[in-house]
Amino acid sequence: MQQTNMIEIKHLQKQFGKFQALKDINFELGAGEVLGFIGPNGAGKSTTIRTILGLIKASAGSVSVFGKDAWTDAVAIHRQLAYVPGDVYLWPNLTGGQTIDMLLHMSQQKHSQRTDRLIKAFALDTGKKNRTYSKGNRQKVALIAALSTDVPLYIFDEPTSGLDPLNEVIFQEQVHALKAQGKSILLSSHILSEVEKMGDRIVIIRAGEIIEAGSLDSMRHLTRSQVSVETSQPLAQLAQIAGVHQVTFGNDTQTKAEFGADTEALNTIMTYLAQQHIVTLKTTPPTLEDMFLRYYDAKDTQKAGVDL
Amino acid sequence: MSAFAQSWTLLRLNLRKDWLKIFVWLLILAGVFIAVAAKFESIYGTAQQITTISNTLMTPAMVSLFGVTPSGVSLNTAIVFASEMMVFWAILMIIFNYSLALGASRIPEENGITELVRGGYPVGRLAPLMAAALELTVVNGLFTVITALGVSATGMPGIDPAGNWLFALVLGLVGWAFGLIALIFAQLVADSRTAGIYNYLFFGIFYLIRMVTDIKNPDYTWLSPIGWVEKAEIYTYNRWTPVWLFLILGIVAFGIAARLNVTRDLGAGLIHIRSGKKTSRFLKGPLSLLWQLQGVSSLLWIIGLFIFGAMYGSVFNSIGKIANTTPMIQKLLGSAGLQHLATQQLLSFVGILGMIFALVAVLGGTMVLNRLYSDERQGYLALIQTRAVSRTKLFWAYTLYSLIFTAILLWAGLMGTMVAGNAVLTHTLAYHYYNDVFISMVAVALLLVALNAAFIGLAPKYHGVVWIWLMLSFFMSYFGKIMNLPDWSLNFSVFNWLNQAPLHAMNMTHFISVLIVAVVLLIGGYIGYQKRDLQER
C-alpha cells in the first residue's frame, strides 16, 4: 500500500553547481508518525525539506508525498500540508494578524477559533507590523498559521530556534495534540532533546547522507550515560576500562570522578566502582545529544586514523 | 568616549566594501565625461557647428532638458560642452551619491551590521554617520581631481584651468550635498526602500523646479540646488557662489542628520511604525497581497508621473515659440506657416517626453516585478510558495501587475502633459498625437518589462541587465544626436526602434516585431520560473 506512507524518499540527490548537497537520501514518513530529522548545520536538512516541498528539483532519485510527485504535483500536495521554515521572514509592512489570515486563505482555510486559541497561547500581538517583530515572534506567526491549518501532514524545519522555553513547551504540546489526532509530522532539528521528546522514529543526516534511521531504542548501542561518582578508594584504573570516556577527577585523591559510560560496558564499570566502595552515584540517562556527539567522535577518529 | 570615535576605521571598512562600486562608477562618471570632452572638438569645433548647436540648445525644449545656454557672449566649444553636460551629469552624480549614502547608512543598519559594530566595539554613536559623510567626501573629491585633470589634458578650445576645476568641483559638490541630504532621510524611516523613495521624491521636486524656472525665468533657478550647477556659468564667467552654497547645504544637511541620529534608537526611524489590523479578509492570493504591498505607492507613482507630465505641459507655450524669428522669416512663412513650425517643434518635444515617461514607467514597473525575485531572496515568499499557490499564479500576478502598471504610468505622464499643455496653448495639440506616442512607447516599455520577467524566470541574478540597457538606451537617444553618434549605433537604443511618432507614422513592422518578442520573452520567463529552483535567503 503506497498510501500508508506520507512521504517517501528514494535515493534523492541534489546538486548545486559542483557542490553535491544531497548524496543519497532514503527515508519515509508513515501515516500518524512523528519523525525526527536530525543533523548538524549544513548537513542537508533544509535542502531535503525544500525538495519535499517542491521548491527545488531533485537532481536524481524520487520524492513523493501522499503518493504524488513532489515537483510536478506541488500545489496539490501543498493543499494538504502545513510548513514552518527555520528562518521566518515576513513582509515588513503587513501585521502578524494579516499574515496569518492571508496564509490560511491561501490554503483555502479560515481563521478559526483554533487560530484564536493559538494566538492567545503563544501570546502574540497580532496588530503589530511584522517589521517590529523579533525572530521569535516571526516564528510564532508562521507556527500559528501552520498549526491552525487542518491538514494531514505538518513539516517543521527547526521550528523553535527563536522561541523561549515557555513557548517551546507550548509548541511541544501542540505537536502532541496533532499526534493524538493521527496527523503525520516531520520535525527537523539540531536541538536533539526536542526531537527526543516528540519523535517516534529518528533519521540522522550527515553531509548529505542518511547515516542512521530507526527508533530511539534501536540506537542504544550508540548511546552513552553520563556518570558522576564518589568512592572511598581512589579510582586510579577507571580510565583503563573499555567503554569509559572522558574521565575528569573532582579532587587530587581521585575519589570523585565524572565520565561517560557506554551502555554495553555498564556492567563492567559498575563492578569496578563497587569494588572501590561507592559513596554517591548519579547517572544521567543517555540523551540523543550524547549519541550524536559519540557518533561523530567515532567517525572523526576513524577518519583521522586513516589520514595518519 | 567621543561620539565620533573610530570614524576613520569605519571609513576604511566602507571603502573596502564599496571599492568596486566606486571604481566602476568613477570609471563611468569621470571616464565618459573626459572622453566626451576629448571628442568634443571634432563635433563642435567650427564656428558654424557652434552656431547650429547653440541655436538648438537655446530653444525652450532643449533648455528644459539640458538647462540654460549662456546668451550675449561669444560661444566656444568649451561653453557648448558645459551647457550640454552640466545638468545631466549633475543628475548622474546625485544617483551615484544616493546609492553610496544609503549603502553606508540605512542599509547596514537594516542588516544589523551597524548594531554589531556599535554594540560590540568601542565605536562612537555618530561614527557610522560620520564615516558615511567622509566616504562621500573622499569619493566626490576623487571625482573632482580626476575629472579636472582629465578635462585639462584634453585641450578643448575655450577651456581654462579655473573653469576645469570649478566644473569638476561643482559636479562633485552637487553629488556630495545630495548624498548628505540622503543621510537625513535615512534617519526618518527604518527601511532603506522608503528612504530611497523619499530621496528620489526630493530630487524630483527640485528637478522640476529647475526645469520650470529655467524656461520661465532663470533668476528663480537659484531656488533649486540642481539649478545651482548652471549658475557657475563654467567657461563664461566661472562663478564660485554655487561652491559656497553647496558647502553650506552639505554641512547643514549633515548637522541635521547628526542631530536626528542622536535622538533616535538604533535600528528605528523617527517616523513611528503604527500598528495595523489584527485580521484580514482582503488578502486572499498573490494579487491582493501585491495590491496591499504596492497599491498606495503605485497610486502615488501614477499621480507623480501625471504631475511630472503636467509640469512639462505647463511650459508648452514657451516651447512652442520659435527662436530667432526675424521679421523676414515671419513674412515668408506667414502666421499659418509659423504656427505649423511651432507645432512641429512641440510634437518633436512630445516625442522626447514620451521617451522620458517610458523610462520612468519602466523603472516603476520593473521595481514591482523585481519584488518577485527580491521577495524570494528575502525569504518572504517561502511561506506562500508552500501553500496552495501555484508558481503560474505567482508569476503572472506579478508580471501582469507590472505590465499594466507600466502602461498606466506612461499614459499618466502623457495625459498630464496634454492637459497642462492644452491649458496654456492657444493652438492645442490633438489627443491623437499623444495616443500615437503612447502606442509606440508602450510597446518599448512592455518589451523591457517582459525582458525583465524573462530574466526572473531564467537567470534571475542578471536581471540588472535590463536597467543597464534601459539607461544606455536613454542616454543614447537623449544625447546621441547632440554627440553626433553614428546612426547605426543609435539602433542599440530600444527607444530608437519606435521613435517616429508623433511627427511621422509609426513603423508597423518594428511595432509588431517588438510585441512578438515581448510575448516570447514572457512565455520564456514563465517556463523558466516553472522549472527553476526557488532560492533561499
Q: Is the same domain home to A126 and A56?
A: yes
- For residue A137, the domain's CATH number is 3.40.50.300
- Chain B segment 186-205 residues within 8 A of A by beta carbon are 190-191
Q: Do A105 and B191 count as a contact with CB atoms less than 8 A apart?
A: no
Report DSSP state, residue A129: B
Q: A144 and A235 share a domain?
A: no
Residue B535 has pLDDT above 80, yes or no: yes
Do A126 and A263 share a structural domain?
no
A127 contact residues in B (CB cutoff 8 A): 275-278
pLDDT on residue A304:
43
Asked whether the predicted pLDDT for residue A289 surpasses 80, the reply is no
Same domain, A213 and A230: no
Tell me, what's the pLDDT at A305? 40
pLDDT band at A288 (very low <50, low <70, confident <90, very high): low
Record: contact A74-B275, CB cut-off 8 A: no
In degrees rounded to 5, what are phi and psi of residue A259? Answer: -160, 165
A42 & A156 share domain: yes
Q: Of A162, A196, A218, which residue sits at a domain end?
A: A218
Chain A, nearest residue to B272 by Cα: A132
Which residue, among A31, A26, A24, A22, has the nearest Cα to A1 in the 3D structure? Answer: A31
β-pairing, A184-189 vs A34-38, is parallel
Q: With CB atoms and an 8 Å threshold, state whether B379 touches A127.
A: no
pLDDT tier, B512 (very low <50, low <70, confident <90, very high otherwise): very high
pLDDT tier at B259, thresholds 50, 70, 90:
very high
One domain, residues A204 and A263: no
pLDDT category of residue A1 using cuts at 50, 70 and 90: very low
Residue count (chain B): 537
Cβ contacts of B90-93, under 8 Å, gap ≥ 24: B90/B171, B90/B174, B90/B175, B90/B226, B90/B229, B91/B207, B91/B226, B92/B28, B92/B29, B93/B29, B93/B140, B93/B143, B93/B171, B93/B172, B93/B174, B93/B175, B93/B178
**pLDDT, tens digit (0-9, with 9 covering 90-100), for A212-230:** 888 877 776 666 778 899 9
- The three-point CA angle A134-A136-A138 to 5° equals 70
Residue A176 and residue A112 in one domain: yes
| In contact, B180 and B209? CB cutoff 8 Å | no
Q: Are residues A255 and A186 in the same domain?
A: no
Residue A307 predicted with pLDDT over 50: no
Closest-CA residue in chain A for B281? Answer: A101
Are residues B43 and B483 in contact, defined by beta-carbon separation less than 8 angstroms? yes
Q: Do B277 and A95 touch (CB under 8 A)?
A: yes
pLDDT score, position B431? 94
The answer on pLDDT for A48 being more than 50 is: yes
Closest partner CB to B279 (pick from A55, A111, A131) = A111
User: What is the mean predicted confidence (pLDDT) over A292-297?
Assistant: 67
Residue A307 counted as domain residue: no
Degrees, nearest 5: CA angle A277-A279-A285 = 105
Nearest residue to B107 (alpha-carbon basis) of B190, B197, B20: B190
CB contact under 8 A, B273 and A106: no
Looking at the predicted structure, is the pLDDT value of residue A248 above 80? yes
- Spell out which residues of chain A touch residue B383, defining contact as CB-CB under 8 Å: 83, 85, 88, 90, 99, 103, 142, 145
pLDDT in tens, A141-199: 999 999 999 999 999 998 888 899 899 999 999 999 999 999 999 999 877 777 877 88
**Cell 524656472 sits on residue:** B213
- When pLDDT is averaged across residues A243-272 and rounded to a whole number, the result is 87
Burial class (CB in 10 A: 0-12, 13-18, 19+), B509: exposed
Give the domain CATH number at A277.
3.30.70.250
How many helices (H) and strands (E) are present in chain A, helices listed first?
A: 9, 14
Identity (one letter) of the amino acid at A116?
A: D
Residues A62 and A183 in one domain: yes
Supply the DSSP string of B120-183, one letter for each residue.
HS---TTHHHHHHHHHHHHHHHHHHHHHHHHHHHHT-TT--HHHHHHHHHHHHHHHHHHHHHHH
pLDDT class of A301 with cuts at 50, 70, 90: low
Domain span at A229: 224-285
Cβ separation of A55 and B375 shorter than 8 Å? Answer: no
Report pLDDT digits (tens) over B264-275: 888 888 887 788
Q: Which of A75, A126, A127 comes nearest B390 by C-beta?
A: A75
Q: Do A57 and B283 touch (CB under 8 A)?
A: no
Across the interface, whether the CB atoms of B379 and A89 are under 8 A apart is answered yes
Give a yes or no: residue A44 inside a domain.
Answer: yes
Tell if the CB–CB gap between B275 and A129 is shorter than 8 Å. yes
CA separation for the pair B377, B395 (Å, rounded): 15
One DSSP character per residue, B406-434 reads HHHHHHHHHHHHHHHHHHH-SSPPPHHHH
If one counts the domains in chain A, the total is 2
DSSP secondary structure of A243-266: TEEEEEESSTTS-EEEEEEEGGGH
Asked if pLDDT for residue B66 goes beyond 50, the answer is yes
pLDDT at B176 over 90: yes
In chain A, the percentage of residues whose pLDDT exceeds 70 is: 90
Q: What is the pLDDT of residues B84-103, one digit of tens each?
A: 999 999 999 999 999 999 99
Cβ–Cβ below 8 Å for B293 and A93:
yes
Q: Do B277 and A106 touch (CB under 8 A)?
A: no
Q: Reduced to 3 states, what is the DSSP secondary structure of residue B34?
A: helix
For residue A44, the distance in angstroms to the closest alpha carbon of chain B comes to: 13
Q: What mean pLDDT is predicted for residues A17-46?
A: 91
Q: How confident is the model at residue A292 (pLDDT cuts 50, 70, 90)?
A: low
Residues of B in contact with A142 (CB under 8 A): 383
The whole-angstrom distance between A139's CA and the closest CA on chain B is 11
* Cβ-based contacts of A91 with chain B (< 8 Å): 289, 293, 375, 380
Q: Both A208 and A248 in a single domain?
A: no
Residue A290 lies in a domain: no
Residues of A in contact with B284 (CB under 8 A): 102, 105-106
- Do A106 and B387 lie within an 8 Å CB cutoff? yes
Mutual angle of helices B431-458 and B327-369, in 10-degree steps: 30
Q: What is the mean pLDDT of residues B468-489?
A: 86
Indicate if the pLDDT at residue B166 is higher than 50.
Answer: yes
When scoring B383, B395, B461 by the number of chain A Cβ atoms within 10 A, the one with the most, hence best to mutate, is B383
Check whether residue A8 and residue A140 sit in a common domain.
Answer: yes
Are A168 and A189 found together in one domain?
Answer: yes
**Helix spans in B27-76 (H):** 33-43, 47-57, 60-66
More confident residue, B10 or B267: B10
Residues in chain A within 8 Å Cβ distance of B534? 50, 55-56
Cα separation of A263 and A287, whole Å? Answer: 12
Residue A294 resides in a domain = no
Res A306 pLDDT > 60: no
Rounded CA gap, B518 and B522, in Å?
Answer: 6
In a domain? residue A291: no
In a domain? residue A292 = no
Complete edge-to-edge strand list for the sheet that includes strand A278-284? A244-249, A256-262, A224-231, A278-284
Task: Give the closest-approach CA distance of B455 to chain A in angstroms.
Answer: 18
Helices (H), A38-164: 45-52, 74-78, 96-106, 113-121, 135-147
- A142 occurs within a structural domain: yes
* Residue B83 pLDDT greater than 60, yes or no: yes
- Would you say residue A308 lies in a domain? no
Q: What ipTM did this prediction achieve?
A: 0.83
- Specify the 3-state DSSP secondary structure of B89: helix
Predicted local confidence at residue B324, as pLDDT: 56
Rounded to 5 degrees, φ, ψ at A62 are -130, 145
What pLDDT is recorded for position A212?
84
Exposed / middle / buried, residue B49 (Cβ in 10 Å: 0-12, 13-18, 19+): middle
Residue A55 and residue B382 in contact, taking contact as beta carbons nearer than 8 Å = yes
Of B22, B142, B99, B61, the closest CA to residue B323 belongs to B61
Count Cβ atoms below 10 Å from residue B52 Cβ, excluding itself: 12
Residue B322: the pLDDT is 64
pLDDT tens digits along B317-356: 888 776 556 677 777 777 788 888 888 889 999 999 999 9
For the stretch B34-49, pLDDT in tens is: 999 998 988 898 888 8
First to last CA, chain B: 37
